[in-house]
Each structure stands twice: as C-alpha cells, then as structure tokens.
Amino acid sequence: MRLNILAALTACVALAACSLPTIDKEADAKARALYTQIRTGADISANPDLAPELRTPEALAQLAAIKGMLPPGEPASATNRSWNFNAGTGGTTSTVVHAYSYPERIVLAQTVLSKAKGAGWKIIGFHVNFEAPSGAAPKAPPAVTVEKTTPT
C-alpha cells in the first residue's frame, strides 16, 4: 500500500514538473495584428508579415473584402481557440485560431503561418468563419479563404 502511495506521489511530482505547450508569442501577435488590420481597414499591403503569395492584387483584395463581412466595431473579447505547430526539415508551419466575440456572433479567424529555418514567421493563409454566441446556427456570410496555393 505504501509503495502504491509513493508511486502515485512520484508520478504527481513528475507531471507537475512538465509544462504544457504554449502558443508561439510571435505567431500569435502576427495573427492578431492581421485581424486588427483587416477589421480597421488598414493598408494590408504594408504588412511586412504577409508572404509574397498574399501580396498579389487578388489576394490583397480578398483580404480587404473580409472587412465588410465582419461585425462593426471592436470585439468584446479575443481568445485563442486553438493552435498547432508542425516542424519539418524545411521549417515550421503554424495554424492559429482566434475567436473574436461580438454580441451577434463570434468571428473565428484562422491564420496560417510559415517559418523557414533562420527566418521569421510569414502569413501564408487566412480563413474566416462565423459562429453564433449561443451555439445556434449563425446568420452570417459563408467562410472566406485566402491562402497560398502550390502549383501541382
């Protein structure tokens, strides 16, 4: 019995020493900044964090058009809904999802970022979807997607 208690205590101490993974602060800040730029109508073409694929006139127009689909004003709150990171030999890709709460709906902004070895994060994709605060079906436009495409 004492051995079981000792083993349980040892396991608790070992788990307490571990830390849960956290979001990359730089990727999080870049994702939030892009949403704010879109929401406020700022000049997105001046954003140095956009990858070349999102600097095309078509992609910039699609990003700017998202503003018209967003609820007016500043969100009541913004929370990290989820994130993931995939590291490979060529670098790291991150997908960050923020939930921006407005009275009539929640905006889910998914930002896809890429980081080559020795470089900083670049935004390679941005997706927007909507959710009703109560869980009911939202009365919102369909999802919008602007993302880098790779030729096949």
Under 8 Å between Cβ of 123 and 34:
yes
Residue 12 located in a structural domain: no
Residue 10 located in a structural domain: no
- Rounded Cα distance between 59 and 53, Å, is 8
* CB-CB neighbours of 50 under 10 Å: 22
pTM equals: 0.76
CATH of the domain at 79: 3.10.450
Residue 66 located in a structural domain: yes
Residue 136 located in a structural domain: yes
Domain span at residue 48? 22-147
- The conformation of residue 50, written as its DSSP 8-state character, comes to B
Residue 36 located in a structural domain: yes
Dump pLDDT digits (tens) for 62-104. Answer: 999 999 999 999 999 999 989 898 888 888 999 999 999 999 8
Residue 131 located in a structural domain: yes
pLDDT for position 152: 43
Number of domains in the chain: 1
Residue 116 located in a structural domain: yes
- Percentage of the chain beyond pLDDT 90 is 59
Torsion angle of C-alpha atoms 112, 64, 134, 80, degrees rounded to 10:
30
Residue 11 located in a structural domain: no
